[in-house]
Amino acid sequence: MLDLNFVRNNLELVKRKVETKGVNFNEVLFLRIDKKRRKLITKSENLKSKKKKIAKEIGVLKRKNLNTKGFEKESVELSKDISIIEKDLNEVKNEFRDLLFNIPNLFDDSVPIGKNESGNVVVREWGQKPEFNFKPKPHWELGEINSFLDFTRAAKMSGSRFSISFGNLAKLERVLINFMLETHTKNGYRETIPPFMVNEESLIGTGNLPKFKKDLYKIEDYNLYLIPTAEVPLTNIYRDEILKKEELPKKYVAYSPCFRSEAGSHGKDIRGIIRQHQFNKVELLKFCTPETSYDELEKLTRDAESILQRLNLHYRVVLLCSGDMSFTSAKTYDIDVWMPARNDYVEISSCSNFEDFQARRARIKYIASEGKKLFVNTLNGSGLALGRTVAAIMENYQIESGKILIPDILKEYFIGSIYL
């Protein structure tokens, strides 16, 4: 959520940046509701002040054994007026809150301007694309050849966009979870097992609600949702808390299953395990001060890249333009891994700095100099998405027979084997 005073005093800047992100901003509506809200607040405070003075007068008169009926009647009428105004004020406050909650984060000035992914900028590449003397197979074909993947039986259980992994492919995912967690904990992240279900307030804190309700799975008859990413519970660890500056940055890593309805993605990546309703992910998250957050973003991105480097998978880092960024982000790097069968890249991690956007919604502060309380900055990134990492290994490490070589760094987990 943006700072209210900042929006109020910088309407043109907010409108320009929000609409460059592809979201309409009605500054006239904003000002109208804000004016009405402030007017009702003033009126309510004046009436409460008047009632308080009358209460004092009644007290004085009673101590003198004098008649207080006139004042008491006036106090009752004031209570009725206050009740009516408070009801109107609550309605306006909720309307204004919803309006603020639907304004996206402003992007940093270092972000390129663009309408869609065509405006993104490749920052760097790492490694070499593998060369094959045969036509590489897509990972879902490799999965079927090796009896590793079953989409038909998964659909029987759960519907489309689900899969079952078997044998060494299931083991590979388990091994990758362990490998990623070990790598990131060595880099100073604290391993965490968070809840996989969260309440509405937690999703409001990260910006998933109210705007992206259709993307979530809600548990019927409970105020609980299946998490779309471990970012949600990790960010809410310190909701409504005040941290000490010397504690920052705080760095967390968590494995979790993730659940997404993939609303609006019909027809995209239907085959395989690139885009599913349920998938596993290792998530990185940081809490830090505003002055260090962009350095921490660079470090976080490098930490996510290190997994692909150790797996010897070719990738590129892309700086997203304004029109291709998420609702909550101020700056985002996508890490795209090479997929030989599609002769193209697939995003495997998004590393973002949210500045204080999430912290304002979740009310997470720290004590700065001279005891002043400021909002922390939050950052997160996948370190990495497991299904996409598995798919990338399958396609990049395949041989002509359809067998899949084990990356050197993982051979210690598959003693005596060179193939999955």
Domains of the chain, residue spans: 26-101, 117-413
pLDDT digits (tens, 9 = 90+) for 123-170: 999 999 999 999 999 999 999 999 999 999 999 999 999 999 999 999
Q: Mean pLDDT throughout 56-85?
A: 91
Pairing of strands 242-244, 164-165: unpaired
Token digits for 349?
């991690």
Specify the pLDDT at position 370: 83
pLDDT digits (tens, 9 = 90+) for 356-365: 999 999 999 9
Q: Answer whether the bond into residue 284 is a cis peptide, omega within 30°.
A: no
pLDDT digits (tens, 9 = 90+) for 205-236: 999 999 999 999 999 999 999 999 999 999 99
Share of the chain above pLDDT 70, in %: 99
Nearest to 140 by CA among 324, 391, 405: 391
Specify the pLDDT at position 264: 62
Specify the pLDDT at position 266: 66
Inter-CA distances, 187 with 260, 271, 350, Å: 29, 35, 19
Q: Mean pLDDT throughout 79-95?
A: 95
Q: How confident is the model at residue 378 (pLDDT cuts 50, 70, 90)?
A: very high
Got the DSSP string for 295-362? HHHHHHHHHHHHHHHHTT--EEEEEPPGGGS-SS-SEEEEEEEEEGGGTEEEEEEEEEE-TTHHHHHH
Specify the pLDDT at position 269: 75
Q: Mean pLDDT throughout 178-202?
A: 98
Inter-CA distances, 240 with 30, 105, 320, 362, Å: 27, 20, 31, 6
Instruction: Identify the residue whose tokens are 């996409």.
Output: 388
Composition of the chain by helix, strand, coil, percent to 5: 45, 20, 30
Q: Which amino acid is at 253?
A: V
In 98-249 the beta strands, taken as DSSP E runs, fall at: 121-126, 149-150, 164-165, 190-192, 197-198, 217-218, 225-226, 242-244
Pairing of strands 365-367, 242-244: parallel
Q: Mean pLDDT throughout 83-111?
A: 95
pTM for this model (two decimals): 0.93
Specify the pLDDT at position 369: 83
pLDDT digits (tens, 9 = 90+) for 228-256: 999 999 999 999 999 999 999 999 999 99
Largest CA-CA distance found in the chain, in angstroms, rounded: 105
Strand partners, 250: 287
Specify the pLDDT at position 69: 87
> Which letter, b or e, does each residue of 205-237 get, where b requires 16 or more Cβ atoms within 10 Å of its Cβ?
bbbbbebbeebbeeeeeeebbbbbbbbbbbbbe
Helices vs. strands in the chain: H and E counts, helices first = 12, 16
More confident residue, 371 or 344: 344
Specify the pLDDT at position 322: 97
| The total number of residues written for the chain in this structure | 420
Token digits for 256?
């979790």
Share of the chain above pLDDT 90, in %: 94
Instruction: Identify the residue whose tokens are 């009673």.
Output: 62
Domain 117-413 fold is: BirA Bifunctional Protein; domain 2 (3.30.930)
Specify the pLDDT at position 239: 98
Specify the pLDDT at position 208: 96
Specify the pLDDT at position 270: 76
Q: Mean pLDDT throughout 329-340?
A: 98
pLDDT digits (tens, 9 = 90+) for 253-272: 999 999 999 866 666 777 89
Token digits for 321?
């333009």
Nearest to 296 by CA among 357, 377, 412: 377
Asked whether the beta carbons of 106 and 17 are under 8 A apart, the reply is yes
Q: Is 366 helix (H, G, I), strand (E, B) or coil?
A: strand
